[in-house]
Every structure is written in C-alpha cells, then in structure tokens.
Structure 1
C-alpha cells in the first residue's frame, strides 16, 4: 500500500526527495513493549523501509534515528540508535525539534529506486512482467517472469544479448532525461511516471529526472526456476549547491 498523509502527519518525503532538513512539532510519542521511546513528527521527512527501499537515516536534535512504520497507528515513527539512552523519551507532543536526513544516503536510495523503475520498463519492452524488486545498495535487482525464460534465455549468450538490449534501453532513456513525476491515480494511489515510458504505484523517493542518474549498470541477467533476475546498480549525479535543502 502507498500511504498518504494522515491527520497527524504530513509525509514530506513523498513530496520532495531533496528536502533533507526541517523544523517540526512532535505529533505523537510512545514506547515499545521493551520500553524504548519513539516519536512521530508532524512534518515527516524520513522514508521508512518498504517497497524494496531501505529506510532513511538521520538525526532528531542530538540523536541518530531510524524511521519505521508503526503498525498500531500507521505513523512513521523514529527510534534512537543504540547507546542513546532514553533521550527521545524526554520529548512531548508539540515540542519543536530539528530533523535532518542523511542527504547522501537519501540521494543514493532515490537513484537506485528510480533506476529500478527504469530497468522494469526495459524488461516490459522484452515482454517480461515484474514479480519483485530490491532497491538496496549492493543488492539491487528486479525479479520477473518471462515466457521465453526456459527457451531463448537458456544459454549465456542469449542472456547477455538480452542484457545488452536492456542496457541500450536504459542508456537511451537517461540520455533523453525524461521527467520523473509523482501523481495520483483515480483511486488516490501515488503513481511515479517516467515521462510516457513507465508508470507504477510507488511510495518511494525518486530523482527529478532520469538525467539525474549516473552509473546505471546492468550487471547481468540470470534465470532460475523460470524466473528472470536483472541485477543493477546506480548512483545520483553530483548536485549543485542548494539543490539539497
């Protein structure tokens, strides 16, 4: 499910990938079963793990935090790292705090997620259908079904030819610098569009246009038990001063 804003929390990470620092009131506080404290910000810039994308990392005040979706409330809550003691437990609803996301990690995650959509678009052009994805650094891959997986992709030569076609597709789209646009479908789901090339429901962070992608590398195509795995890597091009706020 692609989560929308709740009455208690704005999901700013869905609106602006490049917004990495804000002031925000605390929307809610609580404790886990083990007694560990968590806080939820009214203006939340932290992407929780989900949809194949890892969680942001960052800070609230002096504390390093990791976000996660809170099952009971649906809020994105922040928990302090090991060794922080009970620091977040001192915060109360309405307190104003400074929050900052690790900008380099945010841009890497956004590049990998957008590149994953682009690799899926290339695979669709081959007649393949996505069944799963992983956008984690060092593990990024798209899992697909392909009618010819046991036939024309059976040999290493055929798989390398298929990989070359995917590479050509991806390179052309990046060179065209197609816009990456977030919108809503008639059911209210957030949809990410790569120009007119590809569209998919998604709750991840993304680059502004495909020209922001650098070093998009498809390392290979593998077939196992009738499934096709396309492994890839990507990074974000250097950003100009002020582009990340």
Structure 2
C-alpha cells in the first residue's frame, strides 16, 4: 500500500512511479522501432535519457520482460527480444487458434462507443498513407476489438505475443505496401469491423484467423526479414535515436 507522508510519496512509491514511467517510455520506443530486435539495452544510457536512477531502470526492464519486449540474461544485461523465423511462425500459429476465442468473448460485451471506435479505426487504416500511423492504427484496431474480453490470462498472453512480434509485423506491412498489396489488408480490416458491428461472431472469428494466417505465410516466404543488422551484441539504434 502506498504511504503518504507530509503530502509526498515514500521513496519506494516514488521508485515504483519512476519505474512505470521508464517502462512506458521505453515500450513506446521499442514498439515504434527505435530499438531493433537484438539491440543491447544499456542501463546507463536509459538512466540518462529518461532522467532516472539505475534502480527504476532495472525494474522497468523487468516489467518489459514480462511484457515480452525485453530479454534479460543473468550477469550479461538486457536485449530487445529477438525471434527466429521458427519462433515467430510458432507464435503466429498460436495466434490463429486463440485470437478467434478472444474476439468471440470480447464481442459479447462491446459497447456502441467501442463499436464506433473500431469502425473509425478501420476507416483510418483504409485512408492513411503514412506507414508509421498505419502501424499505430492497426495495433489499436485489433487490441480494441479484444478490449472487452474477460478472459484475463488469454488477453495478457495475446498482448505479449503482439509485443514480441511487433517488429516482424511492421516489416510484413512494409513488404506488402511495397508490393502494392496493402489493399488486401485494408479490405480484411473493413470486413472484420463490419462483422463486429453486425455482431456476427463466426464471420469475425474466421476473418481474424485468415488475417493472421496471411501474415504467417508471407513471413515464412521471406526469411530475409529475420536477418536484422547488428545482431553481434552491439547496440542497434535507428537513425532517429
């Protein structure tokens, strides 16, 4: 329980707040591609960047490990989680089976406000040309469709798998965008949003399974996506860092 003395937080409570702040900011940086899979995460650099001491940074890394974004190695340090092609394909096979269950559970409880947001996000996906915005809208669209599910363990597992595969999903989207095939994704998003709005559970389950399988098959056909530069243990950053 948080103790307040003289209107201020105790040091332990303050450290927990700092850890959560660092975890949230680092999570955003990883999901937006600032740190590539396999990048070494230097705690000193994070402490300087986020204006925090080493203790909150270490706790933030533990939080992100539980989120599937960071891999901690005993006495070695922290890295952004990297997947082999086989590992990524395995996760996608699991997602094909479990996300239809999650969307079915969620659809029973979605409000009209939820439905309006899902339809609006599908429209944004259909019209945005900026690939960075597309990634954000895509993630929000799918996670919003699962938001009302009460299967807490499954919900956490699915979000963790989304986190671990974020880089590979974005690489897939860039690939199909370059090939001129993004219209297929847009059509699938519109059909899924329509099925959710009509409360047609079977259509929604089939569509999400097909949507995930299409990504899996394409990733399996492009092993070069998993050949990420800088996997020799050195720190890897994008040009925006």
**TM interval, short-chain normalised:** 0.3 to 0.5
**Structure with more of its chain in helix, by fraction:** 2
Higher RCO, Cα 8 Å, sep 6+: 2
